[in-house]
Amino acid sequence: MKKLKKLFYKSPITFGCVIFFLSLGVGFYISLKDYQLNLIEENNRVQQAEELIENRIQEVIYTAKSSVNILAYLVQTNKVEHNFVEIGKSIIDNIEIIDQIQYLDSGVIVATYPLVGNEMIIGYDILADTAITKEATLAIEKKQLFFAGPINLKQGGKGILARQPLFRDNIFTGFAVVIIDWKKFLDKVFSGLQNDPDLIVDLFKLGPNDSVKTSLLSSDFSRADGFSKEIKIPEGNWIIKVQLNSSQALSSIGHLIVLRVVLALLFAYLIYNLAIQPQKLAKKVRETTRQLRLSNKRFKLATQATSEIIWDWDLEKGHTFRSENFDKLLGYSSNEDVSKDEFWKSKIHPEDIDNVEKNLKETLMGTGDNWSQEFRFKKADGELIYVIDNGLIVRNRQGEAVRIIGSTQNITKRKEAEINLANQRQRLSNVIEGTHAGTWEWNIQTGEAIYNETWANIIGYTLKELEPINFQTWVKLCHPVDIIESEKLLEECFARKIENYDSEFRMKHKSGKWVWIVSRGKVFSWTLDGKPLMMFGTHVDITEKKWREEEVKSANLQLQSVNEELKSFASMASHDMKEPLRMISSFLQLLEKKYTPVLDEKGLQYIYFAVDGAKRLTVLIDDMLEYSRIGFDESMLDRINLNALVKEVITLNKDLMEEKNAQINVGDLPEILGIITPIKSVFINLISNALKYQEKENTPIISIYSKSVEGFCQITVQDNGIGIDEEYFDKVFNVFSRLHIKNEYSGTGIGLAVCKKIVNQHGGKIWVDSSEQGTKFHFTLKLYGN
């Protein structure tokens, strides 16, 4: 024993290996026995399945034999004609598996039950049918009950025929036959076995010479490698085969083998560990001593490096040790007074001291091991800071707290940030409350939703009345027509096609009316696979705004109708007024032509004045009609090249310019956004005025140029004409405003009014700047692309 003990402690590895191999050998022996038992169980399972099938087939054979024996008795006693139907009904009603019975005279079917549906087989000679005569002949030769099939029945379906040959004076006279439906036969014999994943079963049919074996169930044995068993049923030349799909004898104990190997290793390791304990203990003592020295040094360095104050409070002595950071962070020098409890309490903010002492007392009186408290503390220089104390409570065996070891950390910056955040939240809440906006938060993946009270109040409810609250709460209350467009906008938002969701829709008010809502929101977080997660937004009631929009829309429609009526009236009035003017002018011209020799110079002058007045009135009516027709349709806005447009206007005034020997200078003009015909009218009027309002014998000089001004272009048409006094700068744009008598300069005074109306319709403005040297007309139009 001493030598064994010495070996045990001296060579732990060798002793462990011996124990491992001994344990491994025992484990393998037990596993071998388990494997052999599993093989026996698998063999028994296959044999039990085979015996079950055989017993079921024998039960079918016994049932069929009993039925045909009754029929054979009737034939032998010449009672078949009177009792066949009664006996047949009794057999089929009481024996579920039998579908028909037949009596054959020689090989011809002369009677069958039931007859309904089977009439076509009466008179059928089975011995004349080469497809089935072999099994019928075999029954005659054996002179005993024989099961034919399965075969396709002439009357339809598939079945097994139990034929009992009948003899009189040793001479064959016919058959007593029982027909069993093939499906019923399979259900009866193989119920619960065909779907067993561990077993493969099949029923084979032997040929007349037992040489050909045909599978009746088409089972696949090609991959099976377990036990198999076959047995022959001579009454039908059948062979039953049952085979285990695959043997689990070894794999079923695989985990046990692994477990026994592991247990052997663990047992060997345990023995090894016991043997090596004295050596490990000695090493541990040396290592622990070294670690304690390092730990003491590390703790000292950590207390110097950390931004926290480490403290150790002896509750029994009322004395507290604090690290050197106490002086550095709080400004107090370590001394006997500072280590006392009273010093620490005196520096806590008066508003916090009661809560701190209450929390500490409850924690110490309880059973917990941790204490944590936030409060305000006064530094040596008088500054108030926020600190957090975290402590670990040490208790004696009676559960009483005797010591707390912990740290104090300055959290002033964090607390100030929390206070600022709380103030921001309060301000945001005040803004939301002040704007009467409802707010919503929606978890898109779960359907959970949170609404504020204002959200519910907008539609006349309280949140309590709408519970349970989720995303469907909004869906149920939203107008069915509007929700389609809203959901479309949400899908675009989820697909990141648009950044923000902005939708207007109607919601059902508690009173039954519809309330218009504008909802705005944004997805603020997404799942890892890119799906939208959290969405936040607001609801604002815009019902009154919608009403006002409808009123404005209705007013615009009415105004548009009035404008159309005015245009129609102006056109009709123009036509009606021009007709008598044409008549006056025509008759005056005829009067002048006929009576020129008679009239004196004064009379001719009067006729000239009358004709000229009629012409000017016609021009005036045309200008009034043009002014009334000037409209503005935004859908007609297009890109206009001013250089090409001005060139076209100059061509229209070519004759007048050549007549007056006028000079025109055109700078590089930009492209603008406008309607081409009205813009052309502006240039026609301004250039015509520049040519018209000139001193006699003066050569007209016209300059057209532009410059960019905040998204607009400022176009200037400058001339060297007679000029306009400053007091008339605004008046010149009024309708029918003329600064000169008609004998001096022609015109109706509508041209500049037309220019102003067109420029204003295009979102610009027009003004005049003039001096004795000429006039400058400035007007602004939107640049194309802005």
The CATH number that applies at residue 485 is: 3.30.450.20
Average pLDDT over residues 726-750: 58
Q: Average the pLDDT over each of 147-156, 172-181, 324-333 and give the range with the smallest value.
A: 324-333
Q: Per-residue pLDDT for 301 more than 90?
A: no
The domain of 183 spans 15-271
On the question of pLDDT at 641 being above 90, the answer is yes
Q: How far apart are CA 669 and CA 597, in angstroms?
A: 58
Pick the more confident residue, 151 or 7: 151
pLDDT bin (cut points 50, 70, 90) of residue 574 is: low
DSSP 7: H
* Mean pLDDT rounded to a whole number for the chain: 81
Same domain? 491 vs 561: no
Lowest mean pLDDT among 203-207, 208-212, 534-538, 622-626: 622-626
Span 745-755, average pLDDT? 66
For residue 531, what pLDDT is reported?
92
Q: CA-CA distance, 670 to 685, in Å (whole number)?
A: 20
For residue 385, give both structure tokens: 């800071």
pLDDT-based confidence at residue 744 (cuts at 50, 70, 90)? very low
**Same domain (yes/no): 257, 319:** no
3-state secondary structure of 673: strand
Write the pLDDT tens digit of every residue in 437-492. Answer: 888 899 989 889 999 888 899 899 998 998 888 889 999 999 999 999 999 999 99
Query: Is 5 a domain residue?
Result: no
Does 162 map to a domain? yes
pTM over 0.85: no
pLDDT score, position 557:
73
d(CA 747, CA 97): 119
Does the pLDDT at position 779 exceed 90?
A: yes
Size of the chain in residues: 786
Same domain, 211 and 86: yes
Number of domains in the chain: 5
Q: Are residues 533 and 555 in the same domain?
A: no
Can you list the alpha helix ranges (DSSP code H) found in 132-253?
133-142, 182-190
Identify whether residues 244 and 385 lie together within a single domain.
no
Among the residue ranges 102-116, 517-531, 562-576, 708-722, the one predicted with the least confidence is 562-576
With a pLDDT cut of 90, the percent of the chain lying above it is 15
Angle between the N-to-C axes of helices 2-10 and 12-76, in degrees from 0 to 180, rounded to the nearest 10:
90
pLDDT at 736: 45
Q: Give the whole-number percent of the chain exceeding pLDDT 70.
A: 83
Same domain, 676 and 713: yes
Mean pLDDT of 350-358: 90
- Kindly report, residue by residue over 539-560, the tens digit of the pLDDT: 888 888 888 888 877 766 776 6
In a domain, 10, yes or no: no
Asked if the model's pLDDT at residue 629 lies above 60, the reply is no
End-of-domain residue from the set 271, 294, 322: 271
Partner residues linked to 390 by β-bridges: 372, 407
Question: Which of 26-40, 583-597, 696-710 comes out lowest in average pLDDT?
Answer: 583-597
Q: pLDDT at residue 97 above 50?
A: yes
Handedness of CA 410, 414, 420, 426 (dihedral sign): negative
Lowest mean pLDDT among 146-155, 252-261, 334-343, 365-374: 334-343
Q: What is the CATH number of the domain that holds 702?
A: 3.30.565.10
Residues 325 and 398 placed together within one structural domain of the fold: yes
Question: What is the distance between the alpha carbons of residues 138 and 145, in angstroms, rounded to a whole number?
Answer: 10
Is residue 286 in a domain?
Answer: no
pLDDT at 769 > cutoff 80 = yes
Single out the residue in 484, 511, 541 at which a domain terminates.
541
Residue 662 lies in a domain: yes
pLDDT at 95: 85
319 pLDDT tier (thresholds 50, 70, 90): confident
658 and 579, same structural domain?
no
pLDDT confidence band for 61 (50 / 70 / 90): confident
Kindly state whether residue 619 falls inside one of the protein's structural domains. no
688 domain-assigned: yes
Q: What is the rounded distance in angstroms from the CA atom of residue 56 to the CA atom of residue 52?
A: 6
Mean pLDDT computed over 614-634: 58
Question: How does pLDDT run across 393-431, given as a tens digit for each residue?
Answer: 889 888 888 899 888 888 888 888 888 877 776 776 666
Asked which of 514, 541, 568 is the last residue of a domain, the reply is 541
Average pLDDT over residues 386-399: 89
Clarify whether residues 193 and 216 are in a common domain. yes
User: Can you give the pLDDT at residue 279?
Assistant: 64
Instruction: Please tell me whether residues 82 and 126 are part of one structural domain.
Output: yes
CA 601 to chain centre: 96
pLDDT of residue 765: 92
Q: What is the pLDDT of residue 745?
A: 45
Residues 452 and 504 reside in one and the same domain: yes
**Is residue 220 domain-shared with residue 249, that is, in the same domain?**
yes
Residue 429 lies inside a defined structural domain of this protein: no
